Amino acid sequence: MYQYLIAIIGLDCHDHVYIPQKVVHPVSPTMQVHVYPASPNNIHGMDAVQLNNQALTLDRRGDYAGAEKLHKQAVAIKESSFGLDSLQTAISLNALGEVQLKLGKLDDAEANLRKAVSIRNAHQFSSFDAAVSRENLAQVLEARGNLAEAKAVRMTGAPNAISCGNYACQGQTFTVDKLLLCSKCKSVLYCSKSCQGADWKSRHKPLCKQAK
C-alpha cells in the first residue's frame, strides 16, 4: 500500500498540480493538493511545498522580498529532489518569476519564467498552467516595453491554450477567437470587457501608453 504526503495549496495560487495516484481521503473540491508517494526525495519536496505556501502568504501581505527568498529556497530543493526539468520545479520557478516581476527585477523574472515556460510547454503545452506561465513571461516583456514580443509569446498558445491577461481572472484557457485584444497596443488578450477594465486599472494602463 502506498503512503502519501499531501499538501494543501493556497486557493489564489495559479498553479494546478496533476495527481498521478488515487487519493483515498476526501478533500474539498475547492482545494488544490500535491500528492507524493513518501520517498526521501518527496519528503524534501514537501519542504519545498511548505516554503512555497509560506511565500504565498508573504506575497499576499505585500512582503515580496520575503516571498522571493522562500521561493528561491523552494526552487533549489525541487531542482535537487525532482530535477531541473520537472513540472514540480516549474511550479516554483513560475511563482518566483511572478514575485520578481512585482519587485521590478525584470532580468531575474524573465530568466525564471522562460525556464518555467520551457518546462511546461514541453510537458503540458495546452494546460492552464503553461498558459499562465506564458502570460507571466509576456507581462515581463510588456514591462520592458517590448509589446510585440509579449504578444508573440501569448500567441504561441493559439488556437486554444491562451490565458486571459487579467491576473485575477478565473483559471481557464481560451480559444483565440473568444478573446478581446487591447485596441491600442494590440498585445494583451482578455476574455471579457470586465477583465480588460480590471487589468487596465491595476497594471496595463501605463504600459499600454508606452506603445508607439
**Phi, psi of 35, deg, nearest 5:** -125, 125
Q: What is the pLDDT of residue 5?
A: 38
Alpha-helical runs (H) found in the chain: 40-61, 64-82, 87-102, 106-124, 128-143, 147-155, 193-199, 205-208
d(CA 198, CA 29): 27
User: Is the pTM above the cut of 0.75?
Assistant: yes
Give the CATH architecture of domain 44-124.
Alpha Horseshoe (1.25)
Look-up of cell digits 499538501:
7
Each residue's pLDDT expressed in tens, for the chain with a length of 212 residues: 333 333 333 333 455 433 333 333 333 343 344 444 445 455 567 899 999 999 999 999 999 999 999 999 999 999 999 999 999 999 999 999 999 999 999 999 999 999 999 999 999 999 999 999 999 999 999 999 999 999 999 999 999 999 999 999 988 999 999 999 999 999 999 999 999 999 999 999 999 986 65
Minimal CA–CA distance to 16: which of 2, 3, 29? 29
Q: Delimit the CATH 1.25.40.10 region(s) of the chain.
A: 44-124
Instruction: Report the C-alpha gap between 135 and 199 in whole angstroms.
Output: 13
pLDDT at position 157 is 97
- Report the distance separating Cα 37 and Cα 103, nearest Å: 36
